[in-house]
Amino acid sequence: MNASDALSSARRRLYALPKLALWRLGRLWLRFQTAIFTRARYSEPKMRWMGALGVFGFPAYWVVWALIIPQPYENLGLRLFGSLLFLPLMLVSYWPNRVRAWLPLYWYLAMTFALPFFFSYMLLQNSHQPEWQLSHLLSVFLMVMLFDMVSFLVTSVVGTLFAVLVYALWPFAPLDGGALLSYSAVWAFALISGSVFSISHSISNQARLDAIIAATNNIAHELRTPLASVRIATQAVDRFLPLLADSHRAAVAADLPVPELRESQLGRLSKAMDTIGREVEHANTVIDMLLVAARPIGSLQLESISARDCVLEALERYPFGSQHERSRVSVGICDDFAFNGSRLLLVHVLFNLIKNALFHTGQAGKGNIVLSVHADEGGQRVVCHDTGPGIPPDVLPHIFERFYSSATDYSTGLGVGLSFVRMALERMGATIICRSTFGEFTEFTIVFPDLIRREN
């Protein structure tokens, strides 16, 4: 490499550094947004009580610190502002759907004001008071319980710096440097240990995943054998039932003394064997869905597969609970294209999409589901569209996150289904997009890039 090539390469690396920095910053911001959303959603069931605590707690403690145990500095206006800030959280159940997307951000702003800012500011104004040192330390441990590591550090730094700025603009009394210096050692330990122990959230997620894998393995082990025995017994009965029926008819024709057994009863016996067989297949398919969704996706043997065949196989194999449930799922446009991937994974991806759509349309008491395959100028894609209740706008950006599940969320159960869907598709080089209008429809679109279109 000559000098000019080396210089050109160095320039390219230099120009790439800002882009890399922006990309890393964007990734960090997305992680922070996800953390904000997840923690806020998990806190939502108790958010009304937290709001009530803020609404009434701020003025109540003004009475304590101003009248009962007077402190050098108190600020009724700041406390009343905190009460007003927490009032919307106390009334969170009355928020309209169009503004609920802002609830996580509002919750974090309120908590940042209430914990790191307010307690830091009041500590600076009452720096020599042990009551406020203990109160500030308590606020740190409350933040450890409420936030993950990134959110804990961000809110602590932002709230504390803002408190320092406000104190610098409106100081009440000079700082007691000695008292703050001795307290800062305890505060630093609480801050560092809190950020370290916040990794317990990630550890708990891994523990939950290990528990799910262990549970599915136990389910498979405990149920596969009896299901196999039921299948063998059913096949044996189904094999010899026609012979027994013919023997009974021959005995009746010969006027032999045999119990009466009508033709309709014989027909129901035959259908019962078919029903038992279908239920065994149903149970085995459900076990397969649990195992595939919970276990890590290993190495894939990619092959050229028909998208239309996968859709039809998913509809044929899906364990519908009833004929009515099956009638709500149909195939729309059915072009075809080939993709390099795993038939098993795509079929189970479709199982998860069908399961979610059936659950939510069933809960809403309305809606049909249409699966379609498209190979046109819009690209090669598989679409699952339902006319059910739709997804709330604050939930929509986060439905593919692992373990994201609550009573009000679109995802159900253990929160691994849609996470598995995204991971499985990414392993095959595909992506999934979700569009939804709350109260009208939900549409999942699986996009396969650079695929070879097949002739119909």
Q: What is the pLDDT of residue 453?
A: 43
Integer Cα distance of 423 and 415 in angstroms: 13
Mean pLDDT throughout 85-94?
Answer: 91
Which range among 78-92, 133-147, 355-369, 413-427 shows the weakest confidence by mean pLDDT? 413-427
Integer Cα distance of 41 and 399 in angstroms: 12
Claim to verify: residue 235 and residue 310 sit in the same structural domain: no
Claim to verify: residue 145 and residue 273 sit in the same structural domain: no
Q: How confident is the model at residue 333 (pLDDT cuts 50, 70, 90)?
A: confident
Query: Is a pLDDT exceeding 90 seen at residue 25?
Result: no
Query: Is a pLDDT exceeding 80 seen at residue 415?
Result: no
Q: Which of 170, 198, 226 is the last residue of a domain?
A: 198
Claim to verify: residue 426 and residue 287 sit in the same structural domain: no
Give the β-pairing of 337-341 and 303-306. Answer: antiparallel
Integer Cα distance of 73 and 129 in angstroms: 10
- Better-predicted residue by pLDDT, 76 or 418: 76
Query: Is a pLDDT exceeding 60 seen at residue 258?
Result: yes
For residue 379, the surrounding DSSP H or E stretch is: strand 379-386
Integer Cα distance of 398 and 33 in angstroms: 10
Q: Taking the CB of residue 116, how many other CB atoms lie within 10 A of it? A: 25
Q: What is the pLDDT of residue 77?
A: 93
Integer Cα distance of 224 and 219 in angstroms: 8
Query: Is a pLDDT exceeding 70 seen at residue 141?
Result: yes
Give a yes or no: residue 289 inside a domain: yes
Give a yes or no: residue 1 inside a domain: no
Angle made by CA atoms 378, 380, 383, in degrees to the nearest 5? 90
Q: Which of 242, 261, 294 is the last residue of a domain?
A: 294
Query: Is a pLDDT exceeding 90 seen at residue 31?
Result: no
Token pair, residue 148, equals: 């993950």
Q: What is the pLDDT of residue 373?
A: 93
Q: Which of 251, 275, 294 is the last residue of a domain?
A: 294
Q: Which residues form the domain of 217?
A: 203-294
Q: What is the pLDDT of residue 54?
A: 93
Claim to verify: residue 222 and residue 75 sit in the same structural domain: no
Give a yes or no: residue 11 inside a domain: no
Integer Cα distance of 186 and 315 in angstroms: 61
Phi and psi, residue 17, nearest 5°: -60, -45
Which range among 123-127, 195-199, 343-347, 403-407 shows the weakest confidence by mean pLDDT? 403-407
Claim to verify: residue 237 and residue 208 sit in the same structural domain: yes
Give a yes or no: residue 257 inside a domain: yes
Q: Taking the CB of residue 258, how many other CB atoms lie within 10 A of it? A: 13
100 touches 394 (CB < 8 A): yes
Number of H helices, E strands in the chain: 14, 8
**Per-residue pLDDT tens for 213-233?**
666 666 665 666 677 777 777
Mean pLDDT across the chain:
78
What total number of domains does the chain contain? 3
Position 157, amino acid: V
Claim to verify: residue 413 and residue 348 sit in the same structural domain: yes
Token pair, residue 305, equals: 């597969």
Give a yes or no: residue 169 inside a domain: yes
Q: How confident is the model at residue 311 (pLDDT cuts 50, 70, 90)?
A: very high
Most distant CA pair in the chain, distance: 114
Claim to verify: residue 22 and residue 161 sit in the same structural domain: yes
Query: Is a pLDDT exceeding 60 seen at residue 169?
Result: yes
Claim to verify: residue 250 and residue 382 sit in the same structural domain: no
Give a yes or no: residue 256 inside a domain: yes
Give a yes or no: residue 3 inside a domain: no
Q: How confident is the model at residue 14 (pLDDT cuts 50, 70, 90)?
A: low
Give a yes or no: residue 4 inside a domain: no
CATH number of the domain to which 316 belongs? 3.30.565.10
Q: How confident is the model at residue 278 (pLDDT cuts 50, 70, 90)?
A: low
Claim to verify: residue 166 and residue 251 sit in the same structural domain: no
Query: Is a pLDDT exceeding 60 seen at residue 417?
Result: yes
Claim to verify: residue 428 and residue 285 sit in the same structural domain: no
Claim to verify: residue 278 and residue 310 sit in the same structural domain: no
Using only C-alpha atoms, the chain has a radius of gyration, in whole angstroms, of 31
Integer Cα distance of 157 and 351 in angstroms: 45
Q: How confident is the model at residue 454 (pLDDT cuts 50, 70, 90)?
A: very low
- DSSP-assigned letters across all residues of 270-282: HHHHHHHHHHHHH
Query: Is a pLDDT exceeding 50 seen at residue 410?
Result: no
Claim to verify: residue 112 and residue 186 sit in the same structural domain: yes
